[in-house]
Amino acid sequence: MTEPTITRRPRGKRTAVPDAATLSSGSSTSTTELLGAPAHPRLLETTVLHPHPANPPHRSDSDFEELAAAIEADGEITDALTVRPSPTIPGEYEVLNGHRRLAAAQSIGMVLVPVRVKDLDDAAALITVLGANQNRKDFTPLEEARLVQATLDLPGMTQKRIAEGVGKSTSWVSQRAHAAKTPARILDALADKHPTFDQLDAIAEFDGTEDAELLIQAVGTRDFSFRLQRARDARERAKAERAIKAALKKAGVKAASSNWGTPEGYREAKQFTNRSQDAATELAAVLTELGADRTWRYRENYYIYLYRPLTEKERASEAKKAEKNAAARAALELRSAQITALLETVSTAAKTRLTFLRDVLTTRKITPAQHTIVSEYFLTKATTELITDSYARLSTYSIREVLPDVETDAQRDWANGLSAAARTLLLAATYGEGTAHHPEYWLDRILEICAWYDVLVALGYTPSTAELDALATPEAQAA
């Protein structure tokens, strides 16, 4: 037997470990002896020790590195491994307890390690492996579940025997056996995660759906509970919807052709906002009460809307309403066309009128007769409040409309220098132009515009042919 390649001076009193020659002839050990009386340790080369095929692979982490460092510092493993003779390779052994210690020893080049050899059958061996892994921090729930199920799959194995062997309850074993039956595609997707057994059950509820994929992604995050509740709520809604549609189908009620708005020739009779199972029962009762049949319709847009056919009286009312709406649409289209036709005329006329008004205010003298016409127009059209306000605003809106290219200060100086007649005309222009420059007013307030044109003509303005045509409305002619 080869001596260890790494030796260290013992740092405390230790139990002497017999050499391999002394312990080469061990007797067979039963399962009862495995769980009770320990076997004596012996030294074996690491090359003849192999991991149990059912044992989950070890992972290098900080704990493993610390274990390897401690073994290297001591120069030996103080806690012997548990092994059994290999069932497939004569002269070699299968590790049942101590896989991480063996891996740590191999990582530092140790050749000999202390072991306890026990002659165990497959069932006792698996129970030993399962029990040994309970102290591993990196032992995942999925690995534990698979190991429990592998043990249960052995002939004659029971949950009670496993529970007694690892010191757990039968419900503990049952829970892990149940988890092991989770669909393989889910287990594979969770290979790098650490789901709880409750999470495994929840994901299995939605196997084969998009919700299962979302739940798998949420394992290990705070979103899992939220996504699970949302998925369950959606499932309950879908179940209720199916029950509701079954009730509608039984009553002969068909779906409307559109998912938006009330179907033509129908009126809403009932709206269902409850998507629970109770909604289907409520709907069936309402359908019976209302006498719903194949002439009725329903529409689904998160809520369920139930529509009944219109009565004869309602149909007649709807027909009148449709005629009224059609007439209103026609009038609106006509008005739009008229405004469009007036736009160019009104725009051109406004420029011409303002040019004329500037000329009158700046270069012409307003005669007493013209002043009287302007004053009568203004006093007739404007209220006392407007008169007061307009005089106060002579330097703002009025002048800006008539002389937009003059600076504000110049506007004030210019307005203050106007004669009384010119100031009255400026106020009148504020009112008259405020009406005439809107195309729609040529349709609704044509008489007011005609009155302003009478003032302009009295001042010497000559309307264009287009303006005269626009002014020649039936209302204007009748006036």
Burial (Cβ within 10 Å: 0-12, 13-18, ≥19) of residue 339: middle
- 288 and 414 in a single domain? The answer is no
pLDDT tens digits in sequence order for the chain, 479 residues long: 444 443 333 333 333 333 333 323 333 333 344 444 456 789 999 999 999 998 887 666 777 888 899 998 888 888 999 999 999 999 999 999 999 899 999 999 999 999 999 999 999 999 999 988 888 777 888 888 888 998 899 898 999 999 988 899 999 999 989 988 888 888 888 888 888 889 999 999 899 899 999 999 999 899 999 999 999 988 888 888 888 888 888 888 888 887 788 888 888 888 876 666 677 777 788 788 777 788 888 887 777 888 888 888 988 998 899 899 899 888 878 877 877 777 888 888 888 988 898 888 888 788 889 988 988 888 876 543 344 444 444 444 444 555 544 455 555 566 666 777 888 888 888 788 878 888 878 877 888 889 899 999 999 999 998 888 888 866 555 55
- 261 and 389 in a single domain? The answer is no
User: In whole angstroms, what separates CA 404 from the centre of its chain?
Assistant: 55
- 437 and 401 in a single domain? The answer is yes
For residues 123 and 158, give the distance between their C-alpha atoms in angstroms, rounded to a whole number.
10
Tokens representing residue 193 in the block: 């995660």
Mark which of 259, 279, 310 sits at the end of a domain.
310
In a domain, 448, yes or no: yes
For residues 142 and 284, give the distance between their C-alpha atoms in angstroms, rounded to a whole number.
47
- 292 and 369 in a single domain? The answer is no
- 303 and 326 in a single domain? The answer is no
In a domain, 198, yes or no: no
- 54 and 115 in a single domain? The answer is yes
Please report, for the domain that includes residue 80, its CATH number.
3.90.1530.10
- 394 and 345 in a single domain? The answer is yes
- 361 and 453 in a single domain? The answer is yes
- 252 and 349 in a single domain? The answer is no
CA-wise closest residue to 335 among 439, 240, 255: 439
Per the structure, the count of domains in the chain is 3
Dihedral angle of Cα 259, 263, 266, 270, to the nearest 10 degrees: 10
- 293 and 342 in a single domain? The answer is no
In a domain, 8, yes or no: no
Length of the chain: 479
- 340 and 464 in a single domain? The answer is yes
Which residue range(s) make up the domain with 80?
Answer: 31-139
- 385 and 409 in a single domain? The answer is yes
